[in-house]
Amino acid sequence: MYLEIVTPEAVVFGAEVEAVKVPGVEGEFQMLNHHAPIVSLLTKGEVQINLASESQQDLKKLSKDFRSETGAANVLYYPIKGGVLEMKDNKAIVLAD
């Protein structure tokens, strides 16, 4: 699936991913390829991004706000204060604060 993270300042992320986990208002949830369409409010937390293998080469272009854990090169975390998520036609868009 394609994931895009948009802030008021810029589009901070856009790439093919295997999965994305977000902090929903009713709790954390994960989406995989071809997830059913959904719109959800997001709360403060981290967006966990499991990169597709072809997306890992573009990591140097990411802002300093992204973090990864040692030993998990294909997993990124991006902190948000809240926002909205829309998943439709195998594309997830996070409008983040």
- Write the burial class of residue 85 (CB in 10 Å: 0-12 exposed, 13-18 middle, 19+ buried): buried
Range(s) of the domain holding residue 44: 2-96
Q: What is the tens place of the pLDDT at every residue in 37-89?
A: 999 999 999 999 999 876 665 666 676 788 877 666 789 999 999 999 999 99
Q: What is the tens place of the pLDDT at every residue in 8-32?
A: 999 999 999 999 999 999 999 999 9
Residue 21 token pair: 């986990």
CATH number, domain at 38?
2.60.15.10
Residue 69 token pair: 């854990």
Q: What is the pTM of this model?
A: 0.87
The domain tally of the chain equals 1
Q: What is the tens place of the pLDDT at every residue in 55-65?
A: 665 666 676 78
